[in-house]
Structure 1
Amino acid sequence: MNKTFKLGFLPVAIATGLAGCGVLPLQSADQNVVDALASQLDISYDVQTNHGAQEGLACQTMGAEWASCNNVIMTVVNEGEAVADNNWRIYLHSIRVILDVANEDFTIKHITGDLYELAPTASFKGFAKDETVEIPMIAEYWQLFETDFMPRAYVVAGDATPRAIDSLNTENVDAFVAEIEGNKWKRTPEDNNILATAASRFAKNSDVEALSESAIDVAIIPTPLKTRQMRGELNVASGFALSNNALDAEQLKAFETRAALLGVNTKGETALSITLDENAFSGEEAVSGAYKLAINAGGIEVLGFDSVGAFYGLQSLLALTEKGENATLPMVAIEDAPRFEYRGVMVDVGRNFHSKEAMLRTIDQMAAYKLNKLHLHLTDDEGWRLEIPGLPELTEVGSNRCHDLSETSCLLPQLGSGPTTDNFGSGFFSKADYVEILRHAKARGIEVIPEIDMPAHSRAAVVSMEARYSKYAEQGDLAKAEEFRLMDPLDTSNVTTVQLYDKRSFINPCMDSSLRFVDKVITEVKAMHAEAGMPLNTWHFGGDEAKNIKLNAGFQDINASEPVAWKGNIDMSKEDKPFAQSPMCQKMIAEGVAADFGHLPSYFAERVSSVVNAHGIENFQAWQDGLKYSKDASAFETENTRVNFWDVLYWGGDASAYDWASKGYDVIVSNPDYVYLDMPYEVDPKERGYYWATRATDTRKMFGFAPENLPQNAETSVDRDGNGFNGKGTVDHNQGFYGLSAQLWSETVRTDAQYEYMVFPRVIAAAERAWHKADWELDYQIGKAFNLDTNFVNKDAQLQDWTRFANVMGQREMAKLDAAGIQYRIPVPGAKVEAGKLHMNISMPGLPLQYSIDAGKTWIDYSAPVALDSNVNVKVRALSADKQREGRVVSL
């Protein structure tokens, strides 16, 4: 990993130099103001309502999408001496469009993305000593989770060095966000979700019994295709003696590293043979990754269809292996093969960066649970995260976020990154880092799929190439300046993107320099893959959300002939489709190259696929909406065209997925409402995540997802508002999907610890569904309809399956995550007091439980219902499997 740390702007550099000479410089008046405000202002946020339209706010006339808005009071307390100066600005982050500031002493201005400038007006007389100022803010939509509020607002004045406000310079959002209570956690007053409380968790967990060790003796995650248990056990206390005719040196090292981590000796005495034989597999088992594992009195035999299969057989062996003087293995015969060829995890390192070390740990866990595709979302509006030889600006500018309004040295701060680069808002993988990631993945049977998102979500690239243009233009070399330029300088299109950027979020598809840029980046990335010994087989184009959100159905023109009360009023005449005011694109449309401006992103995808194909790359992959105006898969030049399908099921995704498959695309099921890892675990304002697709996805919900029969999920889950929905097979579909992928977007995920909290343990449930089709999953049928009132799914079988999985996780697998240093989310326990006794449970039986009756001063281990005094206040928590970390504390 390569991270850049900036000391600040010129005044800091001068100060450092003078201090080195033994001279303490005088600070400027502006710097004094910045330092005073940053250190003295205690800022907090308190949601007043998330139902503004119902409570009399003029959401519609303020132009809120779907006429929906909320009211939050920003309270500013000056905890120091008076600050009379008005020559300052506070830059703050808001993921919601701020429509109005209801305090005449302040104005608010949108800068870009989630960055806003709060400034005093002439009427503001400064912050008096100990003064409290309330600034009501009206914003679009709602703010239901504490992590909607971003940290690190910062102060700017004149040429002073910007400084983050101390009270907001924390990852602990509890410190500056008031409890979201009452009905304020509801998206609408009619929201039917169940708020997660100790009691509601207890009720939800109550059907999951704790199983004995013997009941899960031969259980493996993910579940094998066939398992036959025999009488007896094999003593393996001495460890294994390997006889290897299947794995290369790096694969063997990967296995031995995992074994050592789990305390398993690979230099012991029990015979362990590892061989390959394709002819030993037939039918659905004759695929890459298939294996057979036999444990009997004579020793252990792992037989792989290929080396990846042999490696997976060893992972299953480790899943069964205990350590210690009395370690034994059950005698079993296992035949196993993957359900899907593509079993993926997508990690967004663009919005916020995640370290190389975190990626290596993720790869280790993917291998342990037989996931085989690491899709790295390497670029977005907020950051470019991969060194590209020959284009240093991409990382010099595009990988850093800091306060530079010109954006010539860095991108502006976003998503709580603050004014400096010393956090995960900044950072990138060097070429050496990326090659190391590739080699680590290759040894574990994992393909790394790089995504360079375009033409939308490309602001980091566009701004970087504008900096390159300026550099060479100033040198008089216009040919070099324009070589990789990505923006038509004459494009005046007025566009607002999904995450509130302007036209600079888009790579212009009508410029030859855009394709030159694509070719250059592919060339360099392909060379890195070659150096690592992992051929570049798949190129991910991105392609998503190339649109102007102000042209969505949630808005209407201020002069609409038939206005409705539930849309925001805006002047539609000022809104453009992307590229509509680009002379270059206007010329192409006039020439009939594309049907209209809306078709340009799909047209660009087809052009990029030709570049990908010219590089000998077999697979072209994209988010499905980026290809929606192409005829079908035949429009692309690569051997295969794949789409990550991310339509929400209850908005029609239960049908549209099959339509994409019928058009010849390899469909990778990637539904936000079931396998997005950035959605909250629970309907609890204290959980992290965005929630536009669902209010909660816990491990159990992900485990219960039926990825091939999407309508079935309507019988076993609810929509965003906690209501039932209808699912029905409507598209003639006679071929299976290509794969399943779990996604982690990083808008609210800034640190590696937060990243691992969001991904683990629920990604292991996604691995289960990607590898194994459960008996309770029904086949897709045209005309078959599902909803909460139907009873086609065998709920008893599903519960039994989940109970097994949950017990294996709680009793075995979480301890392995601990050993690997994974900072997984510890489930919050359920609890209730009934008939004078405290009852506790947890979603993954086996994890330690504790309670406190003295406000958390001391904690007592819980094993069975315990009698309590009626007037005692009880707090509960769970621990990690190794008892080294505590989960979130809740009160009854």
Structure 2
Amino acid sequence: MKFLYIVLISVLSSAAFAQQQKNSNLDLAITWQPLENNYLKDEQGLSKLTIKNVGKATLPKTGWKLFFNFIRMITPKTSNQSFEVAHLNGDLSCFTPAKNFEGLKPGESLTYEMLSNSWMVNTSDAPQGFYLVWDKTKEIVTFKAVAFVAPPDQKKFFRVGGDVETTPEMIYSANQNIADVSESKLTKVFPTPVGYTENGKTLTLTPNLSIGYEAGFENEANLLAQELGKLFDKKINVNKLSNVEPTISLLKSEAAHEAYTLNISEKGVVIKAGSSAGAFYGIQSLKTLIDPAAFASNKNKSLVLTGVDVTDAPRFGYRGFMLDVARNFQPKAQILKLLDVFALYKINTLHFHLNDDEGWRLEIPTLPKLTNVGAKRANLNGSGNTLQPAYGSGPYTDRLPGSGCYSKEDFKEILRYATARHIRVIPEIETPGHARAAIKSMDKRYQTFLAKGDKAAAEKYLLRHLEDKSVYRSVQKWNDNVMDVAMPSVYSFLETVTDDIIAMYKEAGAPLETIHFGGDEVPKGVWEQSPAFNALKQSDSNIKTTTDLWDYYFGKVSTMLKKKGLYLSGWEEVGLTKAIENGKSKWLVNDKFANQNVHVNVWNNLLGNEDLAYRLANGNYKVIISFVSTFYFDMAYFKKFEEPGFYWGGFTELDKPFSFIPYDYLKNQQKNYLGRQLSEKVLNEAEKLTANGRNNIVGLQGQLWSETIKNTDNLEYLLLPRLLALAERAWSKSPDWAEESNETKAKQLYGNSLSNFYNILGKRELKRLNYYAGGFNYRIPTPGLKVENGKVSANVQLPGFTIKYTTDGSIPTSKSLLYTQPVSANDQLVFRTFDHKANASSTSKPIK
């Protein structure tokens, strides 16, 4: 028997080895090409996958599943194709072999045509993250990233009439009105201060400079010394002010919070402020006065500063940025780097989106399952130990950006770093929707305690009723991502999470005034068949329908926060209630939480909600304007197939946030997300901001959702330089063009202002960001081109950048021909923009 056993083991091992060899030799190259939008005159897209076997092994007729992520629900174009398709949950789908699939031999390829349930516009719409799992062995085979092929017929690819791709000619036309302004005439402090005068003096800083500070400004003085020390490669002398006059003085004044004055003369630098925050912002202005080229070296011998007299104060006390690390994770080092650039441009709030359906990213010590399960994505094996792959994160649990979290110590380091730079961190715990990571984590906790026989402990933090038969589908196609707010255990969970967060802030010495509890995109159908909801209806006469659960839920959350000395923040839906008007569902301002210092981020200014921010502000909610069409930096810059980013809220070129008028935004932003003019009816009937409402606009906030962000370079490309437009609007006073009533004069003033802004970016700030805080991968604008009389003219959005070109069809490099004047047209011309560090834009080719 022993001999037979050994033989059997040997045979099985040989078979397993042979299977592994076979599997390792399987390789598929997958290409996606969109073909047509509005296919069969419906809002759907037709596209095709081409799958080629580029390995040495045959893909067999049966015995495997091919998983992938796709943000659309899909159906095969015809019923006789090679694969059956199944939507699993969220953006995860699966191919299995159809009966007519005969296998795919090395060198062979097949085409799969499919319909998706919405339009397609750019490469962000593509399926991604393909991997194969063998049915028997469960072994996984991964493949290279999907390749993209542009649609063959652009007209068929349009969503609506006039929905053209952005062409080089269109870019050229937009750039034509940008004046080249001499750097000597540019304001050298950014964002633009309230008052700025160059006094004709200069000051030369050397490594022997000294910094003196009055009581309360020690932290700011030391941070400045660190920055200057990096430029001189020497420790800078810092002392409390005494009889010895330092090179740079930080002095106390009666200035308002965050306000400061800055004087530079041949005698030295004097910054005066009434608060440490004001002193800090005076220092940031001082740093933007330093020649940007100096940041390329840590061995500067001297720094020559222009003499200035600056008086300054922010327009808005809330200047925020929301970063989503739930969909795709960003490591701690990147967060610290972002805090550096936020601080430089006087952004004072990081709204930290720490959880969503696809991930829970913050360690909660009392509930370790939240990150043990919710911070990991991998191929599902039935154990419940991870979340499913999303956004192409793949089958393995240890891979960024799908998996990852901040430990308690990581988070405290982030908090300390932010606090030292006068940036408050608002943690967002997204509820009750967008909560799948939390729900699945608590499901696993439930199973663990139940296995130990402790049913009470198992149910303590359960976030869904196990017998709930409610049917729903969220915008992101989840059918199990909403907390059951009728369950007491949900509130036990939220209070525990809140208490652990408060403890971390206390240990870090960081201020905490609010926690953001989300509130957006809860789908229809939730809770309707929940036993917990039915039980609550019996015990609480105020609860009659699931609609009543909204006020019930946020009422309890708000009360819980108030008891802990905090106020409630949320997305706009927290301040809204749905009603039927003229047979249509409409959002109305909810009086329930008005006048309670509830802060709402208003993102929706689309399709009938153009005035929503003003309605909420007039209705006594504290409003942070966070519009999708203006401040969602995950939107693509413009419509081009290769341009990364989403587009459902419109395209967000650099001038979009710059041109924003906070108290009268419909004055000059009168187009919808498709670029079409809003009707006179909409413009005339939109609610105007009242004097009281104006006082309730607390600030502006940019957003960066991370579905398309796979690494730090992707993040920085989408963030910059748009962050600087947000910073200008949030800090600087209302510009003259926004206050001017004469339309012709306002347009002229705006053109001058935009030109100055673009020159500041191209000649100063982006040159600085090539090196500041390690350097940033900002987006470099594509050249504009115009063909006329046999010549090709080129221009660029940002003066100070250069254009290089080739005449043989090759991609231009920094050594290619420098564009200085129109060149003779030919079919092989290729142009690119280059920055001061020889980084380059995407290519631009003249259209015949």
Q: TM-score over 0.5 for the alignment?
A: yes
Cα gap change, 1:878/1:262 in structure 2, threshold over 3 Å: closer, same or farther?
Answer: farther
Contact 1:155-1:165 within 8 A present in 2 as well: yes
Partner residue, 1:27: 16
Partner of 1:875: 830
How far apart, in 1, do the equivalents of 2:431 and 2:830 lie? 49
Q: 1:139 aligns with which of 101, 106, 116?
A: 116
CA apart distance, 1:89: 0.8
Q: Deviations over 1:99-145 (max 9, x none)?
A: 33524232111100000111112222211343221111111011111
The answer as to whether partners of 2:24 and 2:141 remain within 8 angstroms in 1 is: no
1:601 pairs with 2:556? no
Q: Give the structure 2 partner of residue 208 of structure 1.
A: 178
The AA in structure 2 aligned to 1:51 is N
Q: Paired residue for 1:803?
A: 755
Partner Cα distance (1:331, 1:656) in 2: 45
Q: Match of 2:831, SS?
A: strand
- Is 1:416 matched with 2:392? yes
Structure 1: how far apart are the matches of 2:817 and 2:234? 34
- The answer to whether 1:680 aligns with 2:630 is no
Match of 1:645 in 2: 602
Q: 1:482 to 1:222 in 2, by over 3 A?
A: same
> Paired residue for 1:276, among 248, 252, 261?
252
> How big is the shift at 1:331?
2.5
After the TM superposition, which residues 496-535 of structure 1 pair with which residues of structure 2 at under 5 Å, given as runs?
496-502=473-479, 504-535=480-511
1:771 aligns with 2:756: no
1:289 corresponds to 2:266: no
**Preserved contact between residue 574 and residue 600 of structure 2 (Cα < 8 Å):** no
Contact 1:851 1:874 in 2 (8 A): yes
Tell me if structure 1 keeps the 8 A contact 2:226–2:235. no
Matches within 5 A, 1:131-170: 131-163=108-140, 165-168=142-145
1:50 to 31, 37, 45: 37
My pick for the range that moved more, 697-706 or 446-455, is 697-706
**CA distance in structure 1 between the aligned counterparts of 2:13 and 2:531, rounded to whole angstroms:** 56
User: CA offsets per residue over residues 790-810 of structure 1, 9 Å max, x none?
Assistant: 947711111111111111111
1:456-510 deviation line (CA, Å, top 9, x unaligned): 00000000000000011011000110010000111100100010000x2011111
Cα separation, partners in 2 of 1:232 and 1:277, compared to 1, 3 Å: closer
- Alpha carbons of 1:101 and 1:601: their partners in 2 closer, same or farther (altered >3 Å)? farther
Structure 1 residues not aligned, in runs of 5+: 1-17, 55-66, 549-576, 785-789
CA distance in structure 2 between the partners assigned to 1:417 and 1:753 by the alignment: 17
Look up the match of 1:553: none
The answer for the alignment partner of 1:13 in structure 2 is none
SS across alignment from 2:690: coil
Q: Partner residue of 1:399?
A: 375
- Report the alpha carbon displacement of residue 593 of structure 1 after superposing the two structures with TM: 3.1
**CA distance 1:777–1:614, change in 2 (3 Å):** farther
- Pick from 604, 608, 621 the counterpart of residue 665 of structure 1: 621
Pick one of 342, 358, 362 that aligns with 2:334.
358
Q: 1:70 aligns with which of 28, 33, 45?
A: 45
Aligned equivalent of 1:592: 541
Q: Does the CA contact (< 8 Å) of 1:47 and 1:71 recur in 2?
A: yes
SS of structure 2 residue aligned to 1:651: coil
Amino acid in structure 1 at the alignment position of 2:210: A
- Residue segments in structure 2 that go unaligned for 5+ positions in a row: 1-8, 238-244, 295-299, 579-587
> What's 2:664 paired with?
709
The count of residues paired between Structure 1 and Structure 2 equals 801
| SS of aligned partner of 1:801 | helix
Matching residue of 1:321: 290
Q: What SS class does the counterpart of residue 46 from structure 1 fall into?
A: strand
Q: Point out the more displaced range, 815-824 or 425-434.
A: 815-824
Shift of residue 232, structure 1, vs aligned partner: 3.3
TM-score (normalizing by structure 2)? 0.89
Q: CA deviation at 1:85?
A: 3.7
Q: Report how far residue 204 of structure 1 moved.
A: 1.0
Where 1:200 maps in the other structure, the secondary structure is helix
Q: Is the 8 A contact 2:634 2:718 kept in 1?
A: yes
Aligned partner letter, 1:521 = V
Q: How far apart are residue 640 of structure 1 and its match?
A: 2.2
Whole-Å separation in 1 of the counterparts to 2:218 and 2:156: 57
In structure 1, distance between residues paired with 2:116 and 2:379: 24
1:750 pairs with 691, 710, 713, which one? 710
The residue number in structure 1 matching 2:571 is 623
Distance 1:132 1:669, change over 3 A: same
Q: How far off is 1:33 after superposition?
A: 6.1
Q: Distance in 2 between matches of 1:677 and 1:212?
A: 30
C-alpha contact 1:356 1:429 (8 A) present in aligned 2: yes
Instruction: Describe how 1:524-603 pairs up with structure 2 within 5 A.
Output: 524-548=500-524, 577-590=525-538, 591-603=540-552
Task: Tell me the amino acid that sits aligned with residue 271 of structure 1.
Answer: T
The residue correspondences of 1:821-860 to structure 2 (distance < 5 A) are 821-856=775-810, 859=813, 860=815
Match of 1:197 among 164, 167, 187: 167
Question: 1:649-672: CA deviations, max 9, x gaps?
Answer: x42333221111122211000000
Kindly indicate whether the alpha-carbon contact (under 8 Å) linking 1:102 and 1:135 is maintained by their aligned counterparts in 2.
Answer: no
CA offset at residue 851 of structure 1?
1.3
Query: Could you tell me which amino acid in structure 1 is paired with residue 611 of structure 2?
Result: A
Question: TM-score, with normalisation over the residues of structure 1?
Answer: 0.85
Asked whether the 8 Å contact 1:42–1:76 carries over to 2, the reply is yes
CA contact under 8 A between 1:33 and 1:157: conserved in structure 2?
no
Counterpart of 2:632, as a letter, is Y
From 298, 305, 317, the counterpart of 2:267? 298
Provide the rounded CA distance (Å) in 2 between the counterparts of 1:581 and 1:777.
55
Change in Cα spacing, 1:679 to 1:733, as seen in structure 2 (3 Å) is same
**Fraction of identical pairs, as percent:** 32
SS of the residue corresponding to residue 167 of structure 1 reads coil
Compared with structure 1, are the counterparts of its residues 654 and 475 closer, same or farther at alpha carbon in structure 2 (3 Å cutoff)?
same
Q: Does 1:488 align with 2:465?
A: yes
- The answer to whether the aligner puts 1:818 opposite 2:770 as a matched pair is yes
Residue 602 of structure 1 and its aligned partner are, at CA, apart by 3.7
SS in structure 2 at match of 1:207? coil
Residue among 51, 73, 78 paired with 1:97: 73
Asked whether 1:890 is paired with 2:844, we answer yes
Residues of 1 paired with 2:845 and 2:751: CA distance? Answer: 28
Residue identity opposite 2:786 in structure 1: K
Kindly state the Cα deviation for residue 749 of structure 1 after the two structures are TM-superposed: 1.1
Q: Distance in 1 between matches of 2:37 and 2:383?
A: 34
The residue identity in structure 2 corresponding to 1:678 is: D
Q: Which residue, 358, 367, 370 being the options, matches 1:382? A: 358
SS at match of 2:16: coil
2:158 to 179, 186, 189: 186
Q: Greater CA deviation, 338-347 or 97-106?
A: 97-106
Deviation at 1:203, TM superposition (A): 1.4
Which deviates more, 756-765 or 75-84? Answer: 75-84
Q: Which residue number in structure 1 is paired with residue 95 of structure 2?
A: 118
**In the TM superposition, what whole-angstrom CA distance separates every residue of 1:736-785 from its partner, at most 9, and x where no partner exists?**
211100000011112111111111110111011111133245469xxx9x
Amino acid at match of 1:810: G
